[in-house]
Amino acid sequence: MTIQTSLGANSLKRRGFLVSSAAVAGGFSLGFSIPSDADAQSPVKELNAWVVIHPDDKVMIRIARSEMGQGTLTGLCQLVAEELECDWAKVAWEYPTPGENVKRNRVWKNYSTGGSRGIRESHQYVREGGAMAREMLLAAAAAEWKVPAGELKVDKGVITHSSGKKTTYGAVAAAAAQLEPPKEVKLKDPKDWKIAGKPIKRLDTVDKVTGKQLYGIDFTMPGMLVATVRACPVIGGKLKSFDAAKVEKMPGVKKVVAIDGNAVVVVADTYWNARTALAALPAEWDIGKLGEVQTETINAMLKEGLDASEAFVGNKAGDAKAAIDGAAKKVTATYSFPYQHHVTMEPMNATARVTADKAEVWCGTQNGEAALAAVSEAAGLPVGQCEVYKMLLGGGFGRRGRADYVRQAVLIAKQMPGTPVKLIWSREEDMTHCQYHPTTMCKLTGGLDAQGNLVGLHVRISGQSILASLLPGNLVNGMDPAVFQGFAASGPEATYGYDVPNLLIDHAMRNPHITPGFWRGVNTNQNAVYMESFMDELADAAGQDPLAFRLKMLKPKWKAVLQAAADKAGYGKPLPAGHFHGLAQIMGYGSYVAGVAEVSVSADGALKIHKITAATNSGHVVNPAQIERQVAGSFAYGLSAALYGEITVKDGAVEQTNFDSYNVMRMDEMPKVETVLVPTGDFWGGVGEPTIAVAAPSVLNAIARATGKRVRNLPLMHHELKKAS
Amino acid sequence: MAVINVNGKALNHNADPRTPLLWVLREQLGLTGTKYGCGIAQCGACTVHIDGVATRSCQVPVNSVGAKKVVTVEGLATDGKLNKIQAAWVASDVPQCGYCQSGMVMAATALLAAKPNPTDADIDAAMTNVCRCGTYVQVREAILAAAKA
């Protein structure tokens, strides 16, 4: 049996595993088929679920989480290789399939890749996998030489006995694979790390600069057709009728079908022919009352929630209302945050092949197991007869955690049994049928005493709940705890950092029909805008410096990371003329982060974001170079949203359709980013998302310093930034 | 059947003459390194060189190409040796998800051919490709490094 490399995508001799890159670190990755460990006759042996050693010493590390640019696969390989003590130059990686995981009683555990969890929630078991494999390899060498294992040393996959005798992992792997794994292993102290913790280059780079890297949209197989879809322009609307006869004779068209009662599909020989025919396909929709929904009606619905008497309480201390009523000074402000689109560079797509007894899908997904479940449900086949082969993702950002496009591909392929069908969404379909970053508003009321201390704070969030729409089972007595990301009273995930004696943070849930979803940073994004902007407003009202005002209220870890960012940025020291600093901090995804933005606003109101200095305490640092890239990337993402990101609704439908109506940041607007890592070594936090949240508020705070104007509603493109005269 | 010159080879295709070059490359010629991102020449993921000029192939009907020479990302390396930009990209570990990087590499290669020592302003003007992962900092660093190489 063979398994498939990224370049062997036309070969379908695979059964068990999909190798998405056989790249050996430091070398070229040229596609080749390699024998799979799952084959009893193969000389390649699996030591455990995570580690496979080839006779030529190549180390194949299994990665269950998805790689979408965030570097998780390289980081996880570093952790396994660190404990394994193998030669990093001989490391390659592969994805075990979700179906294989089910068959093997979830030996690879969680496939879900979101919430910056890739490393922080799997480091323990992947390191143990590496350490156990090492112990087995050493035991096999010891048995062969009939010496105690304690007399052996290993370095870069070469085992040496105190007598000077040497062997390699590849030579003893077959014997090691026959041994019982050790019951317990001791993991290394991170201070002894040699591979983990280092700024090692990614394992998946070369193919991405030569065009060889295959994404889901590039997948092809013999006899494959290509489909494209148009769902009801109003999310939640239904298909009334369509006239297939009008397009059936167009070039390349093979079939015109409806799926799920809400979408029409053209299947053709090529995407271009499918797209051309779909554009000419007449379809009627039933949108009912949803056609009356506008951005204005959604905003009115949210606005009402700001003062509603009923709300879910997310965090409470003392009596905020009484403290505010009795305060020497009262400050109130209302903010809003619009719908956002993920805009992954690769539009949604999946290839499906369905027969009477098997359903297979090839796609990029952030959650292989959710995709597998979607395949099973759509195909009407038991999970054991379904499989998902994961491709690299051309961006995820939360969007590819959903399996709507997977379901569609299966429903289409089911109507053409045995024929593989690749479904590609147009950018327009992608833009108008997302699970959007939810929209919320927030009214903050603070009370200051005569000395300018914050004695009471009420934060009322009004707006959409992601969980209510996507995961209602995760609501707690109707409340969506995720709405309070960064505002939680306690816990390791996203706790509120300020010590405010009288605090009330509550949520009036208001759910418009536009489907919300997880969007890189999720609810920390708007919560940081609300809280950190308002902290500056309070500091101004108290006549205090915004850094000093924050530091006196922040708990130790929050305080330390803000201080680290401020120190590195030179906060409080003279800046070039016309430049101003703005601050923000939050805890999210288990990490503590802070940012200092340096901006200027010209006389005619042109904003220039010169630099962002960002500090992160993620507990441990698995790859500082990749963290630096994640942090810089998070600002491109967060600042794009702050400057331009806004999805609006007209007559129930999303108005934006492509990059011309949904602008994103280009290179000329990208600030310099300086990353400061201040790990305290006592926990494991995420890094893909946390710093996004400080992007917008740090810039908004700097703009307020530069112009005297407080922007409370995003995006910035709607605001005139000329100095108030 | 029509012929276009891609990466130094005359290649046959049978696409409708109005089909964008992007889809001919991807679906007829199997050159999937050139990516679909928007279809309206906004994002740059489909950038190729046509007679040396960086061009967004999603808006180029294939029948307008004629005898012009098309180079795609697959045609940059010679005998497995990466070009200067590709090598700088690897050295700076630029790509994250990588989907936009073919277009980035094509745009940067054309930039260096026209301006061997680009200024930051030159880079800003030439590199209007969208990257959603946010590799812009490393893209700039790699172009400046390639210029010095």
Whether residue A667 and residue B89 make contact (CB cut-off 8 A), yes or no, is: no
pLDDT of residue A2: 30
pLDDT at position A10 over 60: no
B31 vs A contacts (CB less than 8 Å): 211
Distance from CA of B79 to the nearest CA of A (A): 12
A657 vs B contacts (CB less than 8 Å): none
Average pLDDT over residues B41-53: 98
pLDDT at position A534 over 70: yes
Alpha helix stretches (DSSP H) within A503-660: 524-542, 546-551, 556-569, 624-643
The domains of chain B are located at: 2-74, 84-148
Whether residue B37 and residue A201 make contact (CB cut-off 8 A), yes or no, is: no
The residue with tokens 């030179």 is: A570
> Token pair of B73, please?
């990302």
Q: Is residue B20 within 8 angstroms of chain A, CB to CB?
A: yes
Q: Is residue B129 within 8 angstroms of chain A, CB to CB?
A: yes
- Each residue's pLDDT tens digit, A215-228: 999 999 999 999 99
Whether residue B35 and residue A345 make contact (CB cut-off 8 A), yes or no, is: yes
CATH architecture of B84-148: Orthogonal Bundle (1.10)
pLDDT of residue A44: 84
- Each residue's pLDDT tens digit, A48-64: 999 999 999 999 999 99
- Each residue's pLDDT tens digit, A545-594: 999 999 999 999 999 999 999 999 999 999 999 999 999 999 999 999 99
pLDDT of residue A723: 77
- Each residue's pLDDT tens digit, A223-257: 999 999 999 999 999 999 999 999 999 999 999 99
pLDDT at position B29 over 90: yes
pLDDT at position A129 over 90: yes
Q: What percent of chain A has pLDDT over 90?
A: 93
- Each residue's pLDDT tens digit, A79-96: 999 999 999 999 999 999
Q: Amino acid letter at A95?
A: Y
Which CATH number does the domain A38-210 belong to among 3.30.365.10, 3.90.1150.10, 3.40.50.880, 3.30.460.80? 3.30.365.10
Using a 10 angstrom Cβ sphere, with 0-12 exposed, 13-18 middle and 19 or more buried, the burial of residue A238 is middle
Residues of chain A with CATH 3.30.365.10: 38-210, 216-287+348-424, 295-340+436-718
Cα Rg of chain B (Å, integer): 15
- Each residue's pLDDT tens digit, A302-330: 999 999 999 999 999 999 999 999 999 99
pLDDT of residue A80: 98
Distances (CA, A) of A321 to A317, A406, A479, A498: 11, 49, 22, 18
Whether residue A667 and residue B34 make contact (CB cut-off 8 A), yes or no, is: no
| Under 8 Å between Cβ of B75 and B8 | yes
> Token pair of A576, please?
């070039």
Alpha helix stretches (DSSP H) within A662-722: 692-707
Q: Amino acid letter at B77?
A: A
Least CA distance to B48: which residue of chain A?
A211
SS3 A119: coil
For the CA atoms of A287, A288, A292, A293, the dihedral, rounded to the nearest 10 degrees, stands at -60
Distances (CA, A) of A539 to A459, A542, A701: 17, 5, 11
The string of DSSP codes covering A121-133 is TTHHHHHHHHHHH
pLDDT of residue A725: 61
- Each residue's pLDDT tens digit, A650-674: 999 999 999 999 999 999 999 999 9
Lowest-pLDDT choice from A9-23, A373-387, A470-484, A678-692: A9-23
What is the ipTM for the molecules in this complex? 0.98
Residue A41 pLDDT grade (very low, low, confident, very high; cuts 50, 70, 90): low
Whether residue A209 and residue B105 make contact (CB cut-off 8 A), yes or no, is: yes
pLDDT at position A4 over 50: no
Average pLDDT over residues B132-143: 98
Q: Is residue B133 within 8 angstroms of chain A, CB to CB?
A: yes
pLDDT at position A22 over 50: no
Residue A43 pLDDT grade (very low, low, confident, very high; cuts 50, 70, 90): confident
Mean pLDDT of all residues belonging to chain A:
94
Among A169, A99, A640, A145, smallest CA distance to A374 is for: A99
Distance from CA of B110 to the nearest CA of A (A): 15
CB < 8 Å from A in window 60-89 of B: 72-74, 76-77, 80, 82, 86, 89
Among A500, A525, A505, A474, smallest CA distance to A640 is for: A525
Domain B2-74 homologous superfamily, CATH:
Beta-grasp domain (3.10.20.30)
CATH class of this structure's domain A295-340+436-718? alpha beta
| Under 8 Å between Cβ of A339 and A437 | yes
Contacts of A601 (CB under 8 A, 6+ apart): A578, A607, A608, A703, A706, A707, A721, A722, A723
Q: Which CATH code is given to the segment(s) A216-287+348-424?
A: 3.30.365.10
- Option in A201, A396, A640 nearest B93 (CB): A201
pLDDT of residue A401: 97
Distance CA A122, CA B123 (A): 40
Beta-carbon count within 10 A of A428 CB: 20
Distance CA B118, CA B110 (A): 11
pLDDT at position A198 over 60: yes
Strand partners for A458 = A445, A504
Mean pLDDT of all residues belonging to chain B:
97
pLDDT at position A110 over 50: yes
